[in-house]
Structure 1
Amino acid sequence: MTHLLEVAGVTRRFGGITAVDQVSFTVGEGSARAVIGPNGAGKTTLLDLITGFTAPDEGTVLLDGEDITGVAPHRLPQRGLMRTFQSARLVPLLTVRENVMLGAHRFTRSRFLSDGLRLPRARREERALRARTAELLDFLGLTPFADRPAADLPAGAQRLVEVARGLSGGPRILLLDEPAAGLDDTETAELADALSAVHAGGIALVLIEHNIDLVMKVSDRVLVLDAGGVLADGPPEEVRRDPAVIEAYLGAAT
Structure 2
Amino acid sequence: MTALLSVRDMSRSFGGVAAVQSVDLDVDAGTIRAVIGPNGAGKTTLLDLVTGFTKPDSGSVEFKGDQLVGLSPRELPSRGLMRTFQSARLVPSLTVRENVMLGAYRFTRARFGSDAFRLARSRREEKELTVRADELIDFLDMRHFADTLAPALPAGAQRLVEVARGLAGAPDLLLLDEPAAGLDDSETRELADVLRAVRTGGISMVLIEHNMALVLAVSDRITVMDAGRVIAEGVPKDVRGDPAVRKAYLGVDQ
TM-score, normalization: structure 1?
0.96
Distance in 1, matches of 2:117 and 2:35, equals 47
Residue 31 of structure 2 is aligned to residue 4 of structure 1: no
Alignment size in residue pairs: 253
Distance in 2, matches of 1:71 and 1:3, equals 20
Distance in 2, matches of 1:70 and 1:213, equals 36
How do residues 168-247 of structure 1 correspond to structure 2 at under 5 angstroms?
A: 168-247=168-247
Deviation for aligned residue 1:123 = 2.2
* Structure 1 equivalent of residue 31 of structure 2: 31
How do residues 90-129 of structure 1 correspond to structure 2 at under 5 angstroms?
A: 90-129=90-129
Contact kept? 1:196, 1:217, Cα under 8 Å: no
* Structure 2 equivalent of residue 64 of structure 1: 64
Deviation for aligned residue 1:4 = 1.0
Residue ranges of structure 1 left out of the alignment (5+ in a row): none
Task: Give the partner amino acid of 1:81.
Answer: L
How do residues 153-164 of structure 1 correspond to structure 2 at under 5 angstroms?
A: 153-164=153-164
Which deviates the most, 237-246 or 206-215?
Answer: 237-246
* Structure 1 equivalent of residue 165 of structure 2: 165
Distance in 2, matches of 1:204 and 1:114, equals 35
Distance in 2, matches of 1:250 and 1:81, equals 34
User: Which secondary structure does the structure 2 equivalent of 1:175 belong to?
Assistant: strand
Distance in 2, matches of 1:238 and 1:90, equals 37
User: Which secondary structure does the structure 2 equivalent of 1:9 belong to?
Assistant: strand
Distance in 1, matches of 2:202 and 2:236, equals 19
User: Which secondary structure does the structure 2 equivalent of 1:87 belong to?
Assistant: coil
What are the superposed Cα offsets for residues 187-246 of structure 1, whole Å, 9 maximum, x if unpaired?
Answer: 111111111100111100000000011011111000000110010010111101111111
Deviation for aligned residue 1:121 = 2.0
Deviation for aligned residue 1:2 = 2.6
Contact kept? 1:6, 1:25, Cα under 8 Å: yes
Distance in 2, matches of 1:67 and 1:226, equals 26
Residue ranges of structure 2 left out of the alignment (5+ in a row): none
User: Which secondary structure does the structure 2 equivalent of 1:160 belong to?
Assistant: helix
Distance in 1, matches of 2:69 and 2:249, equals 30
Contact kept? 1:6, 1:26, Cα under 8 Å: yes
What are the superposed Cα offsets for residues 49-75 of structure 1, whole Å, 9 maximum, x if unpaired?
Answer: 000000110110011111101310011
Which deviates the most, 119-128 or 58-67?
Answer: 119-128
Deviation for aligned residue 1:35 = 0.1
Contact kept? 1:240, 1:250, Cα under 8 Å: no
User: Which secondary structure does the structure 1 equivalent of 2:176 belong to?
Assistant: strand
Which deviates the most, 104-113 or 203-212?
Answer: 104-113
Task: Give the partner amino acid of 1:91.
Answer: V
What are the superposed Cα offsets for residues 58-100 of structure 1, whole Å, 9 maximum, x if unpaired?
Answer: 1100111111013100110010000000000001121010011
What are the superposed Cα offsets for residues 121-141 of structure 1, whole Å, 9 maximum, x if unpaired?
Answer: 222212211111111001112
User: Which secondary structure does the structure 2 equivalent of 1:181 belong to?
Assistant: coil
Deviation for aligned residue 1:251 = 7.9
Distance in 1, matches of 2:251 and 2:10, equals 28
Distance in 1, matches of 2:118 and 2:58, equals 49
Are the structure 2 counterparts of residues 138 and 250 from structure 1 closer, same or farther at C-alpha, using a change threshold of 3 Å?
farther
* Structure 1 equivalent of residue 78 of structure 2: 78
Distance in 1, matches of 2:40 and 2:222, equals 18
User: Which secondary structure does the structure 2 equivalent of 1:93 belong to?
Assistant: coil
* Structure 2 equivalent of residue 44 of structure 1: 44
